[in-house]
């Protein structure tokens, strides 16, 4: 194991670079993948089906559809409920672009509203103001793993006859008022990307009503009828019909093999994430130069990200320089996210200005995501704390 070196006279520095978010892959996952490679089925097959059932049971959902990404899940959800040209979908600027790209993919119009200053999740009061006769759905994003205020959003959806499609890319395993995210009877899309709390390298899952998932499943594999994936098995049929111009969004058994083992380990990995979070918050919580993330009492945070916010009026450097200083100390970090409305495609098409969503814009300028994953050793955690503390002490006003 590489140990961080002692602080020098100039500043603290680890002896090796600490990556921001490597995957936590054990020998169990490797053996499961090898077993799949040695089998007669490596694409969508029995392990994918098994993963769907076990994952949906874990998140207390009546059904699951394994896919090649969370983006695919969001796109399929919109397509499944027939959202298209002329429709509006309300979502947040404080998300990765895919949450909004999929609205464009189906020909609908994204309507952005600002976020709450404490959790950076979508503001239900602003959602209420944004609803028009063209609104068909709300797409909340459980930012960093902290669930949105779902009661308020569900109430708005019921009052106006809207669908809710949850972007739960960060939210495994999160809970809202004791209920798992994924178990709130909405179509919910999860991500299993390499940096996520559970990984299949690339991959995702759409959970929700089995009847809706039946249509989503058909759309996910070229629009073919029947269990098209099964047509090459001993019990399958060569016959199929294309009933809709679908997509190619299926998960493979190689990915599912990873997912099945990761699902067995998720509670253990999550406990370690919470251990990291506790160490960070204990270290940074009393520094006036920093604002630590919160966990509201009615939720269980998934802690996909630990988003530290800099109180820039107390520091002589900006966020960019803070990240540079972390890198010089051999600590990886990231920014989540550049708000959607600041990207050229969206600012050009809709005329959005940075200040149109002032909370998202202001908070973006001071957020830094610190390393948070289940591979971090206590010495790794100490090195992150030492580096951040050293930067604050060096550049505090």
CATH of the domain at 108: 3.40.640.10
The verdict on 326 and 238 lying in the same domain is: no
Nearest CA among 390, 371, 397 for reference residue 10:
390
In sequence order, which ranges of 111-241 are alpha helices (DSSP H)? 124-130, 150-160, 210-220
Sign of CA dihedral 323, 325, 328, 330: negative
Residues 102 and 118 in one domain: yes
SS3 call for 242: strand
Q: Is residue 128 part of a domain?
A: yes
Instruction: Say if residue 337 is preceded by a cis peptide, omega within 30 of 0.
Output: yes
Q: The pTM is what?
A: 0.95
Active site residues: 196
Domain that holds residue 294: 266-395
Same domain, 296 and 258: no
- Closest C-alpha to 232, from 34, 38, 41, 60: 41
Q: Report the distance separating Cα 214 and Cα 64, nearest Å.
A: 10
Q: Final residue of a domain: which of 207, 239, 262?
A: 262
Q: What is the CATH number of the domain that holds 285?
A: 3.90.1150.10
Residue 268, judged by CB atoms within 10 A of its CB (0-12, 13-18, 19+), counts as exposed
Domain boundary among 206, 238, 262: 262
| Residue 61 maps to a domain | yes
Question: C-alpha distances in angstroms, 193 versus 60, 115, 275, 292, 340?
Answer: 21, 25, 22, 25, 20
User: Does residue 76 fall inside a structural domain?
Assistant: yes
Candidates 338, 335, 336, 314; CA nearest to 391 is 314
Quote the number of domains for the chain.
2
pLDDT (tens digit, 0 to 9) for every residue of the chain, 397 residues total? 344 444 444 589 999 999 999 999 999 999 999 999 999 899 999 999 999 999 999 999 999 999 999 999 999 999 999 999 999 999 999 999 999 999 999 999 999 999 999 999 999 999 999 999 999 999 999 999 999 999 999 999 999 999 999 999 999 999 999 999 999 999 999 999 999 999 999 999 999 999 999 999 999 999 987 665 566 666 777 788 899 999 999 999 999 999 999 999 999 999 999 999 999 999 999 999 999 999 999 999 999 999 999 999 999 999 999 999 999 999 999 999 999 999 999 999 999 999 999 999 999 999 999 999 999 999 999 999 999 999 999 999 9
Domain boundary pick from 218, 247, 262: 262
């Amino acid at each position: 194991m590489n140990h961080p070196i002692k602080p020098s006279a100039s500043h603290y520095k680890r002896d090796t670079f600490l990556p921001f978010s490597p995957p936590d892959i054990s020998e169990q996952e490797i053996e499961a993948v090898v077993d799949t490679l040695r089998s007669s089925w490596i694409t969508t097959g029995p392990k994918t089906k098994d993963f769907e059932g076990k994952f949906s049971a874990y998140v207390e959902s009546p059904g699951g559809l394994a896919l090649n990404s969370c983006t695919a899940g969001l796109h399929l959800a919109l397509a499944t409920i027939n959202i298209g040209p002329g429709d509006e979908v309300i979502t947040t600027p404080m998300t990765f672009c895919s949450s909004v790209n999929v609205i464009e993919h189906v020909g609908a119009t994204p309507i952005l509203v600002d976020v709450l200053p404490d959790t950076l999740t979508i503001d239900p009061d602003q959602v209420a103001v944004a609803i028009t006769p063209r609104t068909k759905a709300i797409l909340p994003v459980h930012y960093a793993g902290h669930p949105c205020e779902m009661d308020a959003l569900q109430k708005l959806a019921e009052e106006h006859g809207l669908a809710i499609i949850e972007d739960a890319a960060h939210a495994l395993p999160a809970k809202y008022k004791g209920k798992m995210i994924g178990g709130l009877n909405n179509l919910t899309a999860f991500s299993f990307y390499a940096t996520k709390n559970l990984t299949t390298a690339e991959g995702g899952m759409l959970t929700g009503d089995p009847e809706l998932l039946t249509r989503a499943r058909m759309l996910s594999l070229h629009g073919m009828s029947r269990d098209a994936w099964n047509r090459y098995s001993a019990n399958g049929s060569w016959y199929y019909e294309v009933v809709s111009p679908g997509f190619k969004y299926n998960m493979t058994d190689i990915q599912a093999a990873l997912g099945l083992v990761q699902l067995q380990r998720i509670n253990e990995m999550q406990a370690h994430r919470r251990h990291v979070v506790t160490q960070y918050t204990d270290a940074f919580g009393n520094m006036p130069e920093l604002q630590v993330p919160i966990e509201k009492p009615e939720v269980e945070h998934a802690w996909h990200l630990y988003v530290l916010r800099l109180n820039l009026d107390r520091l002589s450097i900006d966020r960019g320089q803070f990240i540079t200083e972390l890198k010089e100390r051999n600590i990886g970090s990231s920014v989540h996210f550049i708000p959607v409305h600041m990207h050229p495609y969206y600012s050009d098409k809709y005329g959005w200005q940075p200040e149109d969503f002032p909370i998202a814009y202001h908070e973006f300028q001071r957020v830094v995501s610190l390393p948070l994953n289940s591979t971090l050793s206590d010495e790794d955690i100490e090195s992150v704390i030492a580096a951040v503390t050293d930067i604050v002490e060096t550049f505090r006003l």
